Amino acid sequence: MSDAKNNSDTGGEDELVLVALGGLGEIGMNVYLYGIGPPEDRRWLMVDLGLTFPGDNEPGVDVILPELKFIAEQNKQLDGIVITHAHEDHLGALIESWPQLKCPVYATPFTVGMLKAKLAEFGGDLKPDIREIPIDSKFKAGSFDLEFVSMSHSIPETSAVVLRTPHGTVFHTADWKLDENPLVGRPTNVERIKQIGEEGVMTLVCDSTNAFRDGTSPSEAEVAKSLTDIIAEQTGQVAMTTFASNLARVYAASEAAKATGRRLLVAGRSLHRVIQVGIDTGYLPEDFTYLDQEHFRHMERGEALVIATGSQGESRAAMARISEGSHRDVKLVRGDTVIYSSRTIPGNEKSVMAVQNLLAERGYKVITDADGLVHVTGHPRREELAQMFAWLKPKALVPMHGEVRHLQENIRQGAEAGITNSQMITNGQMLRLAPGKLKQIDEVPVGRRFRDGRLVISEGENAVRDRRRLAIVGLVAVAMAVDQRGNVIGDLDVAIDGVPSHNARGDLMEDLILDAVEGTVDSIPPKRRKDLEVLREAVRRSVRSVVDNAWGKRPIVKVLMTELRTKG
């Protein structure tokens, strides 16, 4: 495999490549493309099509989608999209992106169920070509020979993808952990993984999220037991929040309710959706019982276990409303308990803390994973990585699903297991997996698109960048009417937004601006004033500078000039 004679740059030759349009160098928005064939005629397979969530740098943006230009322009070469599991960072961009790609989508029954539930809610009349593949089975997507292998994670039916190519076998782990008792769904299919290792694995493409964490992660069953113990100790009402897609945790909550003599209530639409898909696909018992949130008011104190959306501090979700006391049905009182059965995704710390502070201020007891085993990760820690390396014995390692430091650390872990042919790539960097050693051979365009209200806009469009600037420096608008000679007619008008109203001496900012504009107009010789662009730019600069002098910041300045035709 690592024959040195094959290491030269082999342009035009049949090769196997990997390039990510998202997910490498970040945790979120996973989109991986495998290409096979000569560079001018590759067939492509997409693995996952996820989104990511905005942070402080993307004010007002709802979700962030991958820029797919690279593959959309050659969508006839795209044989299929394989979805490894139903987390938003792996399938969340599918509905919006499918019209650009128009190829079959392959996924296991639970993932298909989640996708169809989302399509029914948000898909309009979109009808993607979805093909349901049984778990742990082999299938073909165009020219690709594939197999799903069950992996435990934090949502049912997460599947690794095995690609068998003429060059060798690639094992793409998807998100995974080792959990012998995942509570809902299958444990990682260790037997099959060992067999594939025996057959020989050329390249392992592996989850890096927890590469810095030692040991192994506890199982879902242990979390369920611990949750039950914690809930049993509470005397008032208990509200618990978790990721809506974590069906095992939903099941654990229902078992905990039974064990502690409480009744399970569900608050939040996405939880209802997941539970329904869970029942339809047989992961929850058909008689899975829970009550809707409006029953809360009829319950005795100590009788309810509410499971609620909003573990990430989302302002419109149930938990935020409970913290504000504004939830229509669920009203807690002093001494009641809130359990965060979740992890805070990096970037959400401030909003989660804000909700937790409000809950604490109201006198509710807040229990997080700092207080006990109420959550467990869905990603492999170091010992789990070492286990996978030992089972698969891959000749090469490419880390995925991580920020740069996670990817590097995964490579270091691999080296400790004796895998020396490894390489980190980030979004857009095309890596040749075969023939020869791993080698970066190309770079393709990548980027992000923003779902912003009803529109999807491109990152380059500046709307969001401008919004960010507005948030920091505010806006001054000056409206003026001028005649052809550049003389101001009538009164100037000025409006400020997000700019302090007075300077330190107490003068009105608007007055300072008006004085500056008048002074500037007067100072321009009549000949030059006729050029309205010169006039506009002079006004803009003087406004920026007068506000800068008063405030120490330069606002965005808009000068709206109307030219009035006068006689004579």
CB of 368 to Zn ion, least distance (A): 21
CB of 328 to Zn ion, least distance (A): 31
CB of 233 to Zn ion, least distance (A): 31
Radius of gyration for the chain, computed over Cα atoms and rounded to the nearest angstrom: 29
Q: Which is nearer to Zn ion, 152 or 309 (CB)?
A: 152
Q: Are strands 144-150 and 138-141 parallel, antiparallel or unpaired?
A: antiparallel
Span 497-556, contacts to Zn ion by CB under 5 A = none
Residue with tokens 């609620």: 308
Q: Please return the burial class of 4, using the count of CB atoms within 10 Å of its CB with bins 0-12, 13-18 and 19+.
A: exposed
Q: Is 157 in the site for Zn ion (CB under 5 A)?
A: no
Query: Mask of contacts with Zn ion, 166-195, x by CB under 5 A?
Result: ---------x--------------------
Residue 344 tokens, joined: 């805070």
CB of 176 to Zn ion, least distance (A): 9
Q: Is 87 in the site for Zn ion (CB under 5 A)?
A: yes
Span 284-323, contacts to Zn ion by CB under 5 A = none
Q: Which is nearer to Zn ion, 244 or 367 (CB)?
A: 244
CA-based torsion, 242, 244, 245, 246: positive or negative? positive
CB of 111 to Zn ion, least distance (A): 11
Number of residues that bind Zn ion (CB under 5 A): 3
Which whole-number Å values give the CA distances from 252 to 60, 129, 378, in the listed order?
Answer: 35, 34, 16
Q: Inter-axis angle of helices 109-122 and 269-280, to 10 degrees?
A: 140
Count CB-CB contacts under 10 A for residue 62.
15
The size of the chain, in residues, is: 568
Q: Which is nearer to Zn ion, 209 or 542 (CB)?
A: 209
Q: Which is nearer to Zn ion, 58 or 89 (CB)?
A: 89
Q: Is 406 in the site for Zn ion (CB under 5 A)?
A: no
Count CB-CB contacts under 10 A for residue 221.
16
Q: Is 89 in the site for Zn ion (CB under 5 A)?
A: yes
CB of 144 to Zn ion, least distance (A): 22
Choose the stretch contacting Zn ion; rule: CB under 5 A; options: 86-94, 104-112, 221-229, 327-335.
Answer: 86-94
First to last CA, the chain: 87
Q: Is 26 in the site for Zn ion (CB under 5 A)?
A: no
- Please spell the DSSP secondary structure of 39-90, one letter per residue: GGG-EEEEE----B---TTSTT--EEEE--HHHHTTGGGEEEEE-----HHH
CB of 563 to Zn ion, least distance (A): 56
Q: Which is nearer to Zn ion, 87 or 172 (CB)?
A: 87
Choose the stretch contacting Zn ion; rule: CB under 5 A; options: 88-96, 350-358, 362-370, 476-484.
Answer: 88-96
CB of 154 to Zn ion, least distance (A): 6
Q: 3-class DSSP state for residue 490?
A: strand
Span 109-138, contacts to Zn ion by CB under 5 A = none
Q: Which is nearer to Zn ion, 52 or 241 (CB)?
A: 52
What does residue 336 show for φ and ψ, rounded to 5 degrees?
A: -70, 170
- Contact assessment for residue 112 and residue 149, using Cβ atoms and an 8 Å cutoff: no
- Residues lying near Zn ion in the complex (CB under 5 A): 87, 89, 175
